[in-house]
Every structure is written in structure tokens, then in C-alpha cells.
């Protein structure tokens, strides 16, 4: 069975949320299907990773996105009705790439990752091929939430994106053989847009063995927040925590430390780096695990959160209890929630952090260990997606 997998980033390395799920989909599909990946690429670092995916058994074509050209195109089309997501995720050679693949190795089914790639599957030359969309999250809902919490002009831009992307999500879900989302909240949101669509819930997983702590739990009262640090929800969440929660934590625990771990920190995040106030901004790191293992508590203070925040799953898998916003908790798998405390307000967030810091290191690890994560492996979580692809492609079920 031939599966054409469309991704808006090359799914390697699995070091950020929008690559992680796509990587594991590719990894679990490659041994059992004829897998062809077409990815938009945004920098030379991505291009250098193609061999890693080919070593898994996939054919890979990378199509560079000309960043300046796409930004200029987006600005020109602002008065129109096309989603900016589509304008910014575009590449001049991609239609020719699809035409060549269809001519030489016509796929049995197209798997489009997120709405930005689904639009290519609805257009020639892919439009006649069965389509499964891994929407992951209903992005229009995220933009609507960001619009409500932003100032002009971003309020208008986010609102515009929410409106036009919702219209596309409706058309896309109605046209697809099946659309996949990561949890019940996203399914319900998509059903409000496309009540007749076939929607399946396929949650994210976790690769537990590499995360297992290498030693005793950390003694120091260190908090850790991991994420791509120029992504607006992460930036807003970190700033909210710094301004509204961190002073209360430091007032009662002046020895507390905060690690902000993630690539491309925005200027506002870089300015938070202050050894005097116990805050370290790492920038890009090769491996987040050492930072998790040296920490006592994970935090996820996102005010806007869709889907599943894998940063929380990974922190719990690394032996840390977590304090999360109500928005983050709503997307988490049930087995993980026992390891989490909810900070529904700044005051409550600080109290929950301080309560966990007051525990002994062993007690904190016991809180994390209360989460039953054995059934959350990527292999088990992704099986329904594999079955949907097999059904859509008209072949026997894929062995996984």
C-alpha cells in the first residue's frame, strides 16, 4: 500500500511539537507500507536531516519555502479571504512534485498533516486520491482564542485567520475520507464546524524508556518550562507566569529557580534571563532531558492551549509532577492528570507550585509515578490511524 504523507515541516528531529507526532507517524508506518514523504522545509538544518528519514525506509522529497516571498504574498492578500496559514506554507515547486509522484508512483491514500497541507490534497493532481487528514488540533479555535487576548493589530489578524481557517476546516473535513484529531475536545470543536464529517480521535503518545530518570530526584527547587520559545502561546504563558506567579513563588522560596528551555527565544523571553532572579533562558539545546532531570517541578502555564501538550507528558515521564493551566489540563489524557496540579489563577498557580516544592524529592517523584502511562506508547496510540489509512486505501489492515 502506497501512502503519501504531507507535512509542513520535515518530521526530523522530533524536538518540537509540530515535528514530534509526524515523526512517530512516519516511524511506525515506514516498516509496513510504501511510504513517501513530501515536506515543506524552512531552513538548511531541516534539509540536513533527510537521510534520517530515508534510513527508516521512506522516500523523502523536501520542498523549500521561500520565506520572504511567502511573507510578501501574505501581506498582499490580507484584504482577501485566504487563510494566512496557507499563504505562509507555500512553495513554488510543490505542485510539480505532486504531479511527478502521481505519474510515477500513484499513492493509494494521501495522509495530510494539519490543515496547511490538507489544502494541497484537495487540489489537482491529488484531489482524486482518498484522503485522511491528521488535523491534530482545530487551529481556528486557537486563533480565535488568541484574538480575544491580543491587542490591535494582532487581534484583527488572529480574528481574520480564525474566521477564514474555520471555513476551510469545514470544507476539508467534509471532503476527507476521515479526519483525525488528538482528543475529545478537538473532536467536539470540529463537529461544530462539520457535523457530517467522519472524525476519529487518535491521541499523542510518549516514548517512555529514554525519559526514565537516570538517578535520584532533584533536590534543588527548580521549575522547568519546555517549548519552542518564539511560539506565541508559549511566549504569552511564560510572560504571564513571570509577571503574575514568579514573584509570589520567590517571595516564599527565594532559592527557587526557573528554567525556560527551548529554541528561538523571543526577545521578551531573552530579557527574562536573570541569574539574580533565578531565571535561566537556555535557547536551543541538543536534549531537554538533562534539564528535566535536574528540575523538581514542571510548569505549563499556557493561556491558549489546543490539543495535547506533549511537554507535560514528557515531564511526567521524566519523573516530574506538573502544575498546568486549566486550558492545558483539558487536553491531557486522563492517566496523566493524577500527576498534575491545576493553577486556574495566578494565586492558585503559585500555591500549587509552592506545595510541590514543599514535598521531599521522593514524594514529588511519587506524584509523577501516580500517572499510569504504560498504555500511552506511540505504537498503541497510533493504531487507529493506521487502520483508517488501510480502510481509505482499500487494502488490508496495516500490521503494527
- Return the pLDDT at 77: 84
Which pLDDT tens digit goes with each residue over 323-369?
999 999 999 999 999 999 999 999 999 999 999 999 999 999 999 99
- The count of residues in the chain is 400
Question: Each residue of 58-70: pLDDT tens digit?
Answer: 999 999 999 888 8
Kindly state the average pLDDT of the residues 296-318: 95
The CATH number of domain 208-369 is 3.40.190.10: no
CB 77 within 8 A of CB 87: yes
| Mean pLDDT, rounded, for 217-223 | 97
Confidence tier at 400 by pLDDT (50, 70, 90): very low
**What's the burial of 276, exposed, middle or buried (CB within 10 Å: 0-12/13-18/19+)?**
exposed
pLDDT at 397: 43
> Residue ranges per domain, the chain?
2-205+377-393, 208-369
pLDDT at 74: 87
Reported as a pLDDT band with limits 50, 70 and 90, residue 382 is very high
- DSSP conformational letter for 287: -
Q: What is the average pLDDT across 198-217?
A: 94
Provide the CATH number for the domain formed by 2-205+377-393 in this structure: 3.40.50.2000
**How far is residue 363's CA from residue 348's CA, in Å, rounded to a whole number?**
21
Q: Could you tell me the CA-to-CA distances from 109 to 22, 61, 126, 358 in Å, in that order?
A: 16, 17, 10, 53
Q: What angle do CA 130, 134, 139 make, to 5 degrees?
A: 125
Q: How confident is the model at residue 191 (pLDDT cuts 50, 70, 90)?
A: very high
Planar angle of CA 187, 190, 192, nearest 5 degrees: 115
Count CB atoms within 10 A of the CB of residue 397. Answer: 13
Summary mean pLDDT of the chain: 94
* pLDDT score for 395: 52
Three-state SS for 222? Answer: strand
Q: Which pLDDT does position 45 carry in this prediction?
A: 86
Residues 148-180 pLDDT 10s = 989 999 999 999 999 999 999 999 999 999 999
Record the cell numbers describing residue 378, joined without a space.
506511540
Nine cell digits for residue 268: 521578551
Q: What is the pLDDT of residues 42-88, one digit of tens each?
A: 988 889 999 999 999 999 999 999 988 888 988 888 899 999 999 99
Which pLDDT value is given to residue 374?
Answer: 87
Give the tens place of pLDDT for each residue, 253-296.
Answer: 999 999 999 999 999 999 999 999 999 999 999 999 999 999 99
In terms of Cα–Cα distance, which of 63, 54, 10 is closest to 30? 54
Spatial separation of the C-alpha atoms in residues 25 and 241, rounded to whole Å: 33
Nearest Cα residue to 17 out of 219, 289, 308, 258: 308
Matching CATH topology for 2-205+377-393 and 208-369? yes
pLDDT in tens, 99-139: 999 999 999 999 999 999 999 999 999 999 999 999 999 99
**What is the share, in percent, of the chain residues with pLDDT greater than 90?**
88
Q: Is the pLDDT of residue 95 over 60?
A: yes
Amino acid at each position: 500500500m502506497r501512502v503519501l504523507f504531507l507535512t509542513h515541516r520535515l518530521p526530523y528531529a522530533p524536538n518540537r511539537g509540530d515535528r514530534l507526532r509526524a515523526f512517530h507517524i512516519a516511524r511506525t508506518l515506514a516498516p509496513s507500507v510504501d511510504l513517501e514523504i513530501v515536506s515543506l522545509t524552512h531552513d538548511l538544518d531541516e534539509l540536513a536531516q533527510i537521510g534520517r528519514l530515508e534510513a527508516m525506509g521512506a522516500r523523502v522529497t523536501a520542498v523549500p519555502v521561500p520565506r520572504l516571498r511567502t511573507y510578501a504574498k501574505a501581506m498582499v492578500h490580507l484584504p482577501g479571504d485566504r487563510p494566512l496559514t496557507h499563504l505562509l506554507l507555500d512553495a513554488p515547486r510543490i505542485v510539480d512534485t505532486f504531479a511527478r509522484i502521481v505519474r510515477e508512483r500513484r499513492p493509494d491514500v494521501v495522509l495530510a498533516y494539519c490543515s496547511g497541507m490538507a489544502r494541497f490534497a484537495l487540489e489537482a493532481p491529488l484531489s482524486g486520491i482518498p484522503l485522511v487528514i491528521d488535523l491534530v488540533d482545530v487551529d481556528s479555535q486557537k486563533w480565535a482564542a488568541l484574538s480575544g487576548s491580543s491587542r490591535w493589530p494582532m487581534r484583527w489578524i488572529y480574528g481574520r485567520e480564525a474566521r477564514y481557517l474555520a471555513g476551510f476546516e469545514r470544507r476539508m473535513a467534509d471532503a476527507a475520507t476521515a479526519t483525525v484529531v488528538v482528543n475529545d475536545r478537538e473532536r467536539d470543536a470540529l463537529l461544530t464546524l462539520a457535523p457530517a464529517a467522519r472524525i476519529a480521535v487518535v491521541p499523542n503518545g510518549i516514548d517512555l524508556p529514554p525519559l526514565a530518570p537516570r538517578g535520584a530526584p532533584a533536590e534543588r527547587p527548580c521549575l522547568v518550562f519546555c517549548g519552542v520559545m518564539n511560539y506565541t502561546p508559549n511566549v504569552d504563558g511564560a510572560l504571564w507566569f513571570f509577571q503574575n506567579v514568579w514573584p509570589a513563588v520567590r517571595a516564599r522560596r527565594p532559592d527557587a529557580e526557573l528554567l525556560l528551555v527551548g529554541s528561538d527565544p523571543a526577545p521578551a523571553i531573552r530579557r527574562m534571563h536573570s541569574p539574580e532572579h533565578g531565571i535561566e533562558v537556555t535557547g536551543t539545546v541538543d536534549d531537554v532531558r538533562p534539564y528535566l532531570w535536574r528540575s523538581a517541578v514542571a510548569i505549563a502555564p499556557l493561556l491558549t492551549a489546543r490539543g495535547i501538550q506533549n511537554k507535560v507528558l514528557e515531564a511526567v515521564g521524566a519523573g516530574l509532577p506538573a502544575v498546568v493551566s486549566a486550558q492545558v489540563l483539558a487536553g491531557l489524557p486522563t492517566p496523566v492528570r493524577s500527576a498534575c496540579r491545576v493553577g486556574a489563577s495566578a494565586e492558585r498557580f503559585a500555591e500549587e507550585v509552592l506545595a510541590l516544592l514543599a514535598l521531599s524529592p521522593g514524594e514529588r517523584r511519587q506524584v509523577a509515578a501516580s500517572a499510569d502511562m504504560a498504555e500511552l506508547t506511540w505504537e498503541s496510540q497510533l493504531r487507529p490511524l493506521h487502520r483508517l489509512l488501510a480502510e481509505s486505501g482499500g487494502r488490508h489492515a496495516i500490521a503494527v
